Amino acid sequence: MQLAGQTVLITGASRGLGRAIALGMARAGGNLVLAARDGEMLNVVAREVEALGREVLIVRCDVRAPDDVAALVRRALDEWGQIDTVVNSAGVGLRRPFVETTAAEWDD
């Protein structure tokens, strides 16, 4: 996959699968917009991306908050003028059996 000149926006980029996707997209040549609630971990991932020679923008964002998501998209467009790919890797894991999860928790 070649992403040279493309902007990739990744939510949930501060750890786990989101982090791994970010590093893979950076290796493929993409400039990255990394978003997550944990700003400290975003900084760690951003340094890893920069070490691969790619440009990166980090944005603290809670994807459950529409205003946060709108601000994220605005920042990405202001920085690079385009978003070519979006990877939604943000997630919340509830630590209990699936059958005990309420509808409200699923909506959140």
Specify the pTM.
Answer: 0.86
As a whole number, mean pLDDT of residues 83-106 equals 84
Angle at which helix 16-27 crosses helix 39-51, to 10 degrees, equals 30
Extents of the domains making up the chain: 7-107
Q: Which tens digit of pLDDT belongs to each residue from 51-83?
A: 999 999 999 999 989 999 999 999 999 999 999
**H-type alpha helices, 30-102:** 39-51, 66-80
Q: What is the CATH number of domain 7-107?
A: 3.40.50.720
Give the other-Cβ count within 10 Å of 16's Cβ: 12
d(CA 101, CA 98): 5
